[in-house]
Structure 1
Amino acid sequence: MTTDHKPPTILVLAGKRDGTLDPLAERAGVSHKAIVPIGGKPLIGHVLATLEQAWDDAKILVSIHDPAVLDGVAEVRRLQAAGRLEMRAAQHGIVESIETAAEGIDWPLLITTGDNALTTAEALHAIHASGVEQQADVVLGLAKREDIQAAHPDGQYGFYQFKDIAISNCNLFWLGTASAFSAVEAFRSGGQFFKNRGRIIKAFGLGNMIRFLLKTETVDGAMGRLSQRFGVKVIAHRFTDGRLAIDVDNERTYRVTEELLGA
């Protein structure tokens, strides 16, 4: 597939969170969640097949602790044979993994995860175009609650409520240049970031935290404040396809994703 914009470098985060075995992986008898089977192939197989469809020549990087676990994934073998896919060593944190993978790349960088099986080529092109055309440093892919619930009533239970809409992220992030790491730095602690108020205050500031909790800020207003705090242009790309906010995090979302893949 070709577009008007130069393809990004694509990074798929497929490591183990905090270096521990994911419950879904344990249930499936595999070492990484990325190779948990669903819909006839490993989770990451669905992701890579979509990336392959989205661009004919984009470089794909996979960040994982043990690359050998992907030896049996057909999409990995095919993309490696075509010279399009390279492995990167996952680090102990999300930001460290991104920094390591991004060394020497051609910018911009489009980031997704190995469990994002419902992402689409259209979504990838849309967030990339948004970043390029708006000359952003960071683009966050978001979907609103109504669209997610329309895709599946059990698809997502947790939302971030703003003054204008309630949203969830779509595990799609776009970084324009290396300077974007000043904003990514906020997530260096990794894990369930938004469940820890101390991490949020440290990263975004007490004033921004209060506005978020009181729901007095719109999504675009919040992006503007983040841009000011980190000195880079941060924007939100709002998707209307609610499926994009459903990734495989637990038994419930595994079932939902399996159902939507089948449909």
Structure 2
Amino acid sequence: MSSVPSTERPPTANLTAIVLAGSRGAADPVAAAAGVSHKALAPVAGVPMLVRVLETLAAVPRVGRVAVVIERPGLVLEDPAFAGFLARGTLEVVPAASSPSRSVLAALEAVPDPFPCLVTTADHPLLTPAMVEHFWTQAPPDADAAVGLARAETIRAAHPDTRRTYLRFGDGAWSGCNLFVLRTETALSVVSFWRRVEQDRKKPWRMIGLLGPGMLLSYVLGRLRLGAALAALGRRTGTRLAAVEMPFADAAVDVDRPDDLALAEAILARRVTGQVGAPQGRAATS
């Protein structure tokens, strides 16, 4: 991997990045296999996942500050692998809360003037600067919050055997890419809604059900379109929301299982040969 840049950020580096690195407990198969307390510290092709994510964010000029959220900050503060990031003075380590949504809120409280904010996860070792730039530039500037999604056909074309959770709307099936943007303080209402649904993230019908019985029926019948769901959620939270189509299949590959780890290492090996990225996608707004 490339070394951490030592130059100062340009004046336009006003984007705060939050990296969720919390533990899933002793039952996490990736952490257990690697013999580490947190999946974020498990090596992928010899480099801890969290280090890979931080290197990617360091290579994005618009990112000014990074907050890593982890239960035991000492795991980052005392590990030589993170010394270069800490030396730059733009990395903060925040104690994780009891859930991802609460951890995001903890980071937003710990970092002064945190908006606009990019949220991602430490188990995203395939994240690249091009993905971050595409996501940010394609998110409508008038949206309070946005989420990155990849189409099922994009993912399956590149990785036909990978297992992902899909949100199946009338205009296609989508998988999350662990990329979110919170542009304004108004987006905090979306985080509050997230607290209600995060336990059901693998059960899309339960999340849609919170938008009302009509939305749920439309979803079950395969008629609910992504834009309509965003509009309904926007009305519920008092925000304008957007979904950005990510044309990169790798953006949807996080490392939850040992087979994900094997896939990530294979992809990284192919990147060494100079594999070219995919074309641009589109944004869907409420």
What is the TM-score of this pair, normalised by structure 2? 0.83
Identify if the C-alpha distance between structure 1 residues 155 and 62 changes in structure 2 by more than 3 Å, giving closer, same or farther.
Answer: same
Give CA-to-partner distance per residue, 1:170-211, whole Å, 9 cap, x none. Answer: 000000112112122222143442427555523x33222222
Is structure 2 residue 50 aligned with structure 1 residue 44? Answer: yes
Match for residue 114 of structure 2 among 106, 110, 115 = 106
Q: Is the 8 A contact 2:13 2:63 kept in 1?
A: no
Match for residue 261 of structure 1 among 259, 263, 268 = 268
Give CA-to-partner distance per residue, 1:104-163, whole Å, 9 cap, x none. Answer: 3331110000000111111112222233x4311110100001111122112334321111
**1-structure distance, mates of 2:87, 2:10:** 24
Q: What residue is the counterpart of 1:24 in the other structure?
A: 30
Q: Is the 8 A contact 1:119 1:244 kept in 2?
A: yes
Is structure 2 residue 123 aligned with structure 1 residue 115? Answer: yes
1:188-199 to 2 correspondence within 5 Å? 188-189=195-196, 190-195=198-203, 197-198=205-206
Q: Report the alpha carbon displacement of residue 3 of structure 1 after superposing the two structures with TM.
A: 9.2
Identify if the C-alpha distance between structure 1 residues 77 and 192 changes in structure 2 by more than 3 Å, giving closer, same or farther.
Answer: farther
Q: What residue is the counterpart of 1:7 in the other structure?
A: 14
Structure 2 residues not aligned, in runs of 5+? 271-286
**1-structure distance, mates of 2:195, 2:121:** 17
Match for residue 244 of structure 2 among 234, 237, 240 = 237
Say which is worse superposed, 174-183 or 234-243, in terms of deviation: 174-183
Which structure shows the bigger proportion of residues in helix conformation? 1
Number of equivalenced pairs: 259
Q: Report the alpha carbon displacement of residue 212 of structure 1 after superposing the two structures with TM.
A: 1.8
Match for residue 220 of structure 1 among 227, 247, 257 = 227
Q: What residue is the counterpart of 1:59 in the other structure?
A: 65
Q: Report the alpha carbon displacement of residue 228 of structure 1 after superposing the two structures with TM.
A: 1.7
Structure 1 residues not aligned, in runs of 5+? none
**2-structure distance, mates of 1:200, 1:9:** 29
Q: Is the 8 A contact 1:12 1:61 kept in 2?
A: yes
What is the TM-score of this pair, normalised by structure 1? 0.90
Q: Report the alpha carbon displacement of residue 241 of structure 1 after superposing the two structures with TM.
A: 0.8
Identify if the C-alpha distance between structure 1 residues 68 and 88 changes in structure 2 by more than 3 Å, giving closer, same or farther.
Answer: same
Q: Percent identity?
A: 33
Q: Is the 8 A contact 2:44 2:125 kept in 1?
A: no
